[in-house]
Copies of this chain bind each other. A is one copy, B any other.
Amino acid sequence: MSEYIAHDAQGKTVGLVEKKYFTFAEPPNEMVLDSKAKLGPITIAYETYGTLDENGRNVVLVLHALTGDSHAAGYYDETDDKPGWWDNMIGPGKGIDTDKYFVVCSNVLGGCMGTTGPASIDPKTGNPYGMRFPFMTIADMVRAQKALLDHLGIRQILSMIGGSMGGMQLLQWTIQYPDMVKSAIPLATTMRHSALAIAFNEVARQSIIADPNWNNGDYYGAVKPNLGLSVARMIGHITYLSDEALRRKFGRRLQDKDDFSFNFEADFQVESYLRHQGAKFVERFDANSFLYITKAADYFDLTRNDASGSGVQAFSRAEARFMVASFTSDWLYPTYQSRDMVKAMKKNGLNVSFCEVEAEWGHDAFLLPNQRLTNLVKGFLESVYNDIQ
């Protein structure tokens, strides 16, 4: 438990990270999911950065978004040319300082990056689950993460941080295991998907389901539904950016040509970019995981059993101190949704600060290097760390 990401004076990586696995819920002790279905055994892929201190008070739990994984920071080996997905935020001296904090990140339940999901072997049949994988919710993902923390001997979380669907898991944590969570930083997230967000997810799902190679989820060992998954990813990518971001990044610039092709080639750079993103994605992601995880995100709703529909009731269970951040150009989870969340927290007398970060890159902004965000996170973590000691 002492992986360390560090760089020497020349910027060379001197500590490498390692992907690890934890398995639990071995039959007959399967985990009971919200859908009442049982699932087990469950393997969780996870990584840790930094060192757990003696009193166990320096844990920061990082929660990834829809297509993320446990590899949040650092490099696996010397030849690795790309670090983890949030390496700009996590590392020695960074916003989440691994010289100081013990950072844990795991792949979500239902995922395809090492954690048990639809592509995993169903021990009952010896074949991949496919559509026989049980439905899981955001709360189920959180249950699995709790089992991992128990395994690691962690009883208290100094802070948790997550954007987008990572933020949903985080919010769920604060009401599901309130006494464990000292503070939380939900970024670019929401208490529930709007009809717009559900609509985009549904079209993406239909695109996968429309691909004959999807074959009702049984495509493992055969041709994969890459065309459908690629279109699904392209849809997602548009929602992660913004009108302004796309205008600045691409405008109407043509791709390697002076004039229109007058055919169905990619004339515009934005077309090439989307096709490239789609093609890259199918190499790393499982179509069935995409279906299950998007549906879990659509189901998530902290206001659902709340007569007022405001989320006030849900947060009555929370104890954490919150720092909520939204991003000006995010039209997938716009600022008004963060404000609603903050209102529900405040009505419960919780200690909440809120910041709308100026950013032109749309929903994706929470993942991109942003000094303002880094400073906010760093300051907030220091403050809760000092409070707790």
Residue-wise, chain A 223-237 has the 8 Å CB interface mask toward B (1 for contact) of: 000011011001100
A57 within 8 A of B: no
Map CB proximity to B onto A268-307 as digits: 1 under 8 Å, 0 otherwise: 1011001100100000000000010001001101000000
Complex: A260 Cα to B260 Cα, angstroms: 47
Q: How many residues of A contact B (CB 8 A)?
A: 57
User: Pick the contact of A301 from B134, B252, B263 — CB < 8 Å?
Assistant: B252
Give the distance in Å from the alpha carbon of A250 to the alpha carbon of B202 in the complex: 14
Is A196 an interface position by the 8 A CB rule? Answer: yes
Docked-complex contact B210 and A228, CB < 8 angstroms: yes
Q: A195-B247, A196-B238, A252-B195 are in contact. Are A275 and B206 (CB under 8 A)?
A: yes
> Given that A198-B270, A199-B246 are contacting pairs, would A35 and B262 also be in contact in the complex, using a CB cutoff of 8 Å?
yes
**Does chain B have a CB within 8 A of A249?**
yes
Q: What per-residue 1/0 map shows which CB atoms of A136-173 lie under 8 Å from chain B? A: 00000000000000000000000000000000000000
Question: What is the distance, in angstroms, from A207's C-beta to the closest C-beta of chain B?
Answer: 5
**A4 to B: closest C-beta gap in Å:** 41
Task: Give the dominant DSSP class at A's interface.
Answer: helix
Q: Which of A193, A195, A241 has the most CB of B within 10 A?
A: A195
Complex CA gap A193/B252 in Å reads 8
Q: For residue A235, which residues in chain B have a CB less than 8 angstroms away from its CB?
A: 203, 235
A246: B residues at CB distance < 8 A: 194-196, 199
Question: How far apart sit A66 and B243, CA to CA, in the bound complex (Å)?
Answer: 21
- Residue of A37, A198, A249 with highest tally of chain B CB at under 10 A: A198
**Interface status of A3 (Cβ within 8 A of chain B):** no
With A235-B235, A274-B202 as given contacts, are A243 and B196 in contact (CB-CB < 8 Å)? yes
- Least distance between A378 CB and chain B CB atoms (Å): 32
Which residues in B have their C-beta under 8 angstroms from that of A278? 206
* Chain B nearest Cβ from A223, distance in angstroms: 11
Chain B residues positioned under 8 Å from A252 (CB to CB): 192-193, 195, 198, 301
Extra 14 A-B pairs, beta carbons < 8 Å, given A135-B263, A199-B246: A135-B262, A193-B252, A194-B243, A195-B249, A199-B234, A199-B270, A202-B266, A203-B235, A205-B264, A206-B234, A206-B275, A206-B278, A210-B230, A267-B299
Interface residues of A (CB under 8 A from B): 35, 37, 131, 134-135, 192-196, 198-200, 202-203, 205-207, 209-212, 227-228, 230-231, 234-235, 238, 241-243, 246-247, 249-252, 260, 262-264, 266-268, 270-271, 274-275, 278, 291, 295, 298-299, 301, 331, 334
